[in-house]
């Protein structure tokens, strides 16, 4: 069977490219219209030149941020999945833990960054911890919601067949909750870079957040924008890879008709 030329993945690529081009055109139009100084808002061409001339430096800091994001994302998603499974099995745990999880979201994650830096130091650990904190709750809440809202017919059939609770959980509830879980993971893929960069802003000697602060302090605004663009490209790439993995997981669950 021949692939359709208007496949969803191809459409998304063109949508991203079109959106990026539109943003660049608007950016350049604002620079032309306002005649703003380059140390306040450099034009796209100046930022591109900085990106090319400082590529090795930007690449080095991008790799550091990517390591922080990927480790934090993996650990945060794992912790969220395990927590949701435990809360599904244990009603007492759900009554004790869920209020604490909800209350934890009233504390701004940004306010925890200085504490994490103080406790874990200026290395990778504090940035990974920030990424974990910022993705943990969305994954836990979406997966738990999917597990607790399994179609009643499936559960009634499992009871009729006298299926053990753990078998029901792993063979019925988990596959049924995969779409909810993947929604949370897609959000986590976008949020994780935010957590890592916030940690770098508070205290670091490497990473794109550190590079942006360094460039801003030295009034190299073109380099700062180049680092910001590198962060956007990193986030889009991670989101795209995570999206493909989530699509595969949804196909495995057998409860989606995506191609």
Q: Where does the pLDDT of residue 164 fall: very low under 50, low under 70, confident under 90, or very high at 90 and above? A: low
Residue burial 23-37, b: 16+ Cβ < 10 Å; e: rest: eeeebeeebeeeeee
Percent of the chain with pLDDT over 70: 90
3-state secondary structure 182-212: HHHHHHHHHHHHHHHHHHHHHCCCCCHHHHH
174 pLDDT above the threshold of 80: yes
Instruction: Judge whether 88 lies within some domain.
Output: yes
CB 48 within 8 A of CB 224: no
CA neighbor of 80 nearest in space, from 130, 25, 24, 141: 141
Q: Where does the pLDDT of residue 2 fall: very low under 50, low under 70, confident under 90, or very high at 90 and above? A: very low
Domain holding 135: CATH number? 1.10.3720.10
Instruction: Judge whether 15 lies within some domain.
Output: no
Q: Which residues contact 45 (CB under 8 A, 6 or more apart)?
A: none
156 pLDDT above the threshold of 80: no
Q: Where does the pLDDT of residue 254 fall: very low under 50, low under 70, confident under 90, or very high at 90 and above? A: low
Mean pLDDT of 214-242: 94
Structure confidence at residue 213 (pLDDT): 94
175 pLDDT above the threshold of 60: yes
Measured over the CA atoms of residue 191, residue 197, residue 201 and residue 203, the dihedral's sign is positive
Structure confidence at residue 152 (pLDDT): 76
In angstroms, the CA 61 to CA 55 distance is 10
Structure confidence at residue 153 (pLDDT): 78
Instruction: Judge whether 118 lies within some domain.
Output: yes
Burial of 44 (0-12, 13-18, 19+ CB in 10 A): middle
CB 259 within 8 A of CB 8: yes
**Into how many domains does the chain fold?**
1
Structure confidence at residue 161 (pLDDT): 74
Mean pLDDT of 229-257: 86
Q: Give the pLDDT confidence of 227-238 residue by residue, as tens digits.
A: 999 999 999 999
Q: Give the pLDDT confidence of 54-75 residue by residue, as tens digits.
A: 999 999 999 999 999 999 999 9
259 pLDDT above the threshold of 60: no
Instruction: Judge whether 45 lies within some domain.
Output: no
Gyration radius of the chain's alpha carbons: 22
In angstroms, the CA 71 to CA 86 distance is 23
Q: Which residues contact 16 (CB under 8 A, 6 or more apart)?
A: 236
Greater model confidence, 96 or 197: 197
Q: Which residues contact 68 (CB under 8 A, 6 or more apart)?
A: 124, 127, 128, 131, 196, 199, 200, 207
127 pLDDT above the threshold of 90: yes
In angstroms, the CA 257 to CA 252 distance is 11
239: containing domain: 61-253
Instruction: Judge whether 220 lies within some domain.
Output: yes
Structure confidence at residue 255 (pLDDT): 53
Instruction: Judge whether 106 lies within some domain.
Output: yes
Instruction: Judge whether 23 lies within some domain.
Output: no
Q: Where does the pLDDT of residue 52 fall: very low under 50, low under 70, confident under 90, or very high at 90 and above? A: very high
CA neighbor of 27 nearest in space, from 51, 40, 44, 4: 44
In angstroms, the CA 210 to CA 199 distance is 9
Mean pLDDT of 35-58: 93
Structure confidence at residue 3 (pLDDT): 43
Q: Where does the pLDDT of residue 12 fall: very low under 50, low under 70, confident under 90, or very high at 90 and above? A: low
């Amino acid at each position: 069977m021949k692939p359709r030329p208007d496949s969803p993945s191809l459409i998304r690529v063109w949508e991203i490219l079109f959106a990026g081009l539109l943003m660049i055109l608007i950016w350049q139009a604002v620079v032309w219209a306002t005649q703003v100084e380059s140390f306040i808002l450099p034009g796209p061409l100046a930022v591109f030149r900085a990106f090319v001339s400082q590529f090795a430096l930007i690449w080095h800091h991008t790799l550091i941020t990517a390591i922080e994001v990927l480790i934090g994302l993996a650990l945060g998603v794992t912790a969220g999945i395990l927590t949701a499974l435990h809360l599904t099995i244990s009603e007492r745990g759900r009554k004790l833990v869920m209020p604490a999880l909800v209350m934890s979201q009233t504390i701004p994650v940004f306010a925890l960054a200085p504490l994490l830096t103080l406790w874990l130091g200026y290395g990778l650990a504090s940035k990974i911890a920030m990424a974990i904190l910022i993705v943990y709750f969305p994954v836990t809440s979406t997966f738990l919601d999917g597990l607790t809202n399994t179609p009643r017919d499936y559960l009634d059939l499992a009871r009729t067949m006298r299926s053990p609770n753990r078998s029901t959980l792993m063979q019925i509830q988990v596959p049924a909750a995969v779409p909810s879980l993947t929604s949370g993971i897609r959000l986590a893929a976008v949020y994780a870079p935010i957590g890592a960069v916030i940690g770098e802003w508070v205290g670091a000697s490497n990473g794109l957040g550190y590079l942006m602060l360094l460039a801003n302090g030295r009034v190299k605004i073109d380099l700062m924008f180049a680092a910001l663009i590198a962060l956007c490209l990193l986030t889009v790439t991670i989101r795209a890879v995570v999206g493909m993995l989530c699509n595969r997981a949804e196909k495995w669950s057998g409860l989606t008709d995506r191609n």
